Amino acid sequence: MTLAPDEDLMLQVRDGAGETLGVLFDRYQTPLFNFYSKLTGDRTLSEDLVQEVFLRILKYRQSYRPGTPFRAWVYQIARNARIDHFRKFPPQTALEPEMLPPVLPTDSAQEQQEVELLQRALQQLPEEKREILLLCRFQELKYEEIAVLLGCELNTVRTRIHRALQDLRKAFHQLAHGTMLKKAEAAAAESIPPRGGRHEV
């Protein structure tokens, strides 16, 4: 049995079968939630924005045209919902590392540490760079779809992805270097014996 394509389901929603939207909700809830949570670091806001996206799908369902890739259409709505939100409520706090989701235990401690560093490095990127990496790596949008979404040329998308990746590599490197230094300092501190009594008054 093959699953009905998103586009067919959306056409049914457009033509009045509102309950079909539930299937699309199940398919897109988690990816959209991750898009928002990795961008904003705020779970509550991300959940609210996902609900807003589906409300907008219902409201603007008549504007969906056959042949439009649903994934690209829904991310257009998702971006607009976020932009509208931050226009109304400008963000007041920068992302704090403690707002990041917990990293689940993985096979090796080193891998877990790398994932943590990568998460922190990603949060250090400017928002537009973080967004483009999320769109192409996690939301699996094609470069052509991202170009339409961001309103730019295909080559510009390629350049932006490469720059974002360059910055991510640098941020990751710096963080990894910092962690190594801290470890070295801690190891050195442990190996130094306590100071003798003659130095004390």
Partner 1 sequence: MKCEHIAELLPDYLQGRLSAEQHHNVEAHLEQCADCSEEVVIWRKLSLLPVDQPDPASRARFEAMLQAYKAGRSNQPEGGTEWRKRASVWSWNVFHWLRSPLGAAAWGAALLAIGVFAGLRLAGPKPPSLDLAAMQSELASMKQLVVLSMLQQQSASARLEGVTWSTRDQQLDPQVLSALLHTLRYDASVDVRLAALDALSRHGRQPQVHKAILDSLQQQQSPLVQVALIDLLLEWRDPDAAQRLQALQQAPNLNPTVRQRVEWARSKLN
Binding positions for partner 1, rule: CB under 8 A: 18-19, 21-22, 25-26, 29-30, 33-34, 37-38, 43-44, 46-48, 50-51, 54-55, 58-59, 62, 88, 101-104, 106, 111, 114-115, 118-119, 122, 133, 136-138, 143, 157-159, 161-162, 165-166, 168-169, 172-173
Burial degree of 131 (CB within 10 A; 0-12, 13-18, 19+): buried
d(CA 193, CA 201): 19
- What minimum distance in Å lies between the beta carbon of 56 and partner 1? 10
CB closer to partner 1, 55 vs 186: 55
Q: How many CA atoms lie within 13 A of 16 on its CB side?
A: 0
d(CA 20, CA 32): 18
- What minimum distance in Å lies between the beta carbon of 126 and partner 1? 17
Question: What DSSP character marks residue 197?
Answer: G
CB closer to partner 1, 7 vs 172: 172
CB closer to partner 1, 33 vs 69: 33
- What minimum distance in Å lies between the beta carbon of 107 and partner 1? 11
d(CA 100, CA 95): 8
- Which sign does the torsion angle of CA 139, 145, 149, 151 carry? positive
Q: Given its phi and psi angles, is residue 200 left (phi above 0), alpha (psi -120 to 50 degrees) or beta? A: beta
Phi, psi of 183 (to 5 degrees): -65, -40
- What minimum distance in Å lies between the beta carbon of 3 and partner 1? 19
CB closer to partner 1, 15 vs 185: 15
CB closer to partner 1, 72 vs 118: 118
- What minimum distance in Å lies between the beta carbon of 183 and partner 1? 20
